[in-house]
Amino acid sequence: MDIADHNDQALTRDSLYGTAAEATYAGITSFMRRRYSRDLQGVDLVVSGVPFDTATSNRPGARFGPRGIRAASTAIAWERHWPWTFDPFDHLSVIDYGDCAFDPGLPQSVPERIEAHARRILDAGCAMLTLGGDHFISYPLLKAHHRHHGPLALIHFDAHSDTWPDEEGQRIDHGTMFWHAAREGLVDPTRSVQIGLRTTNDDHQGFKVLDARQVHQLGCEAIVAAIRQRVGDHPVYLTFDIDCLDPAFAPGTGTPVCGGLSSAQALEILGGLRGINLVGMDLVEVAPAYDHAEITSLAGATLAMEMLCLYAARRKVDC
């Protein structure tokens, strides 16, 4: 078939399944060239953006993350995701739903809008891969997923614990979400694990911590085994803050911390989790304004695809 027949697949593809090549430098930048749509009928998984970054404590700019990740994803959308032996798009119907809408001038209303956005998608029977935005967005997303799945096991890749206390309960802050999530029963800390941490917080709310030094010293295989033992077959929400990667691999983020994981380590650990009961996922804190040659956006898009493959491998028995 002529490549022109596949131009702008975000609009022109006649099926929600399959992968086809088109110019990676041209066309509409939906995630992995999936069809832009708000029609949830017959959809297995929705990719959606939450361009919110006013909860950040350092450099803003993650509101441009969904756009940056989508644009970078077009460069890898022409073939099956390596090293997986199947194409998830042959087994899952996936759309790009666009972005969550909210009024940034009414900040206290934003969490509710994000949760309602997620509920609309989940209530239609679709799974979600969400592109942030700063990490606060995980909190309303967890609320929506908890409504469907009950208390969740959390697999959390990050440089920061995000369990700093908020005794007043009023902060919209990307460092307090998992303090709230643990205390509200959205996640079960005894089944949850944080990977790659390298900042100081003495109260981890009961989460198991596999910090960056442990990843470097123990190796990916041991880290995968520890994660699997922790979460078992419990429903898992997977959240990946791009600053889990060392700034050498992800400079385009708001709160970079030296000593982090390489892209290869992160991908190896994620790939080793095949078979976990993954029910929801997000990729957050990509801030393209601080990026160099789109390497952070590309890392974000690649990690997001790894998550999508994990979801497909569990849900589609013929994979």
Peptide bond into 83 cis (omega under 30): yes
204 is in an annotated binding site: no
14 is in an annotated binding site: no
3-state secondary structure of 208: strand
Q: Rounded to an integer, what distance in angstroms lies between the CA atom of residue 23 and that of residue 10?
A: 13
Bridge partners (DSSP) of residue 94 are: 45
Residue 221 and residue 269 in contact, taking contact as beta carbons nearer than 8 Å: no
291 is in an annotated binding site: no
DSSP per-residue string spanning 38-89: ---TT-SEEEEEE---TT-SS---GGGHHHHHHHHHGGGTTSPPTT-SS-GG
158 is in an annotated binding site: yes
160 is in an annotated binding site: yes
Q: Rounded to an integer, what distance in angstroms lies between the CA atom of residue 244 and that of residue 230?
A: 20
Measuring CA to CA, which residue among 168, 170, 119, 188 is closest to residue 148?
A: 119
Give residue 279's identity as a one-letter amino acid code: V
* Residue 197 CB contacts under 8 Å (≥ 6 apart), including other chains: 158, 159, 160, 161, 209, 210, 211, 212
Bridge partners (DSSP) of residue 154 are: 237
Q: Rounded to an integer, what distance in angstroms lies between the CA atom of residue 213 and that of residue 218?
A: 8
Q: Rounded to an integer, what distance in angstroms lies between the CA atom of residue 226 and that of residue 208?
A: 9
Q: Residues marked as binding for Mn(2+)?
A: 135, 158, 160, 162, 241, 243
